[in-house]
């Protein structure tokens, strides 16, 4: 089993008896991975993003135990040490542990976002929270406009929450075929006819 799969399993154990939180981090991971791949993150950055997506809310339980609540700032305060401990126990590299811990400690801070892994983690978490928190469309629109930066994240949010604003071009099918042809040519793949 890969380290990322081990991490996912360990997070399921960490949140045993709490299916809502397990479902949350699984969904955030799925969106983060999708956006990261669509935005062409390199392999290492995607790996860091995926690990961070699994553990981004790991500070909830320690915050609840210490303070009786788990708002975003307390999650950022309590999460990095917990994430570091789990990642070390699973054999993650030190540079990965440091960046993931940083992301866990900042994922509720929406200013000075430094890196695509951070940006995409924030967008993926928002996509899931919009649905889970039953936010109004206008609130979603405002935050997407203010916070989202990736083309993929914006497209997903638009298609999920205000599809009437998502406009397909008249030539969308032809455009897709051209992109496929360009990809095939760039890969040096030749199709016999």
pLDDT at 181 > cutoff 90: no
Which residue did the predictor score with more confidence, 123 or 72? Answer: 123
Closest CA to 96 of 87, 86, 85, 106: 87
- In this prediction, residue 144 has a pLDDT band, given cuts at 50, 70 and 90, of very high
Record the tokens describing residue 98, joined without a space.
């440091």
Closest CA to 60 of 101, 15, 12, 5: 15
CATH topology of domain 3-168: Hypothetical protein af1432 (1.10.3210)
Domain boundaries in the chain?
3-168
- In this prediction, residue 21 has a pLDDT band, given cuts at 50, 70 and 90, of very high
Which residue did the predictor score with more confidence, 143 or 190? Answer: 143
What's the CA angle centered on 145, arms 141 and 146, to 5 degrees? 120
């Amino acid at each position: 089993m890969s380290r990322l799969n081990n991490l996912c399993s360990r997070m399921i154990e960490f949140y045993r008896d709490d299916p809502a939180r397990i479902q949350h981090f699984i969904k955030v991971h799925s969106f983060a991975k999708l956006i990261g791949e669509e935005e062409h993150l390199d392999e290492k950055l995607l790996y860091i993003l995926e690990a961070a997506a699994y553990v981004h809310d790991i500070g909830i339980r320690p915050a609840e135990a210490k303070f009786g609540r788990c708002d975003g700032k307390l999650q950022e305060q309590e999460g990095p040490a917990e994430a570091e401990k789990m990642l070390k126990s699973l054999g993650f590299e030190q540079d990965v542990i440091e960046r993931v811990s940083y992301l866990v400690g900042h994922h509720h801070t929406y200013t000075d976002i430094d890196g695509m892994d951070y940006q995409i983690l924030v967008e993926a978490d928002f996509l899931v929270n919009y649905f889970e928190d039953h936010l109004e469309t206008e609130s979603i629109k405002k935050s997407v406009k203010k916070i989202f930066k990736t083309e993929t994240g914006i497209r997903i949010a638009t298609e999920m929450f205000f599809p009437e604003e998502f406009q397909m071009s008249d030539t969308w099918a032809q455009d897709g075929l051209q992109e496929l042809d360009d990809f095939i040519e760039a890969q040096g793949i030749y199709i016999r006819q």
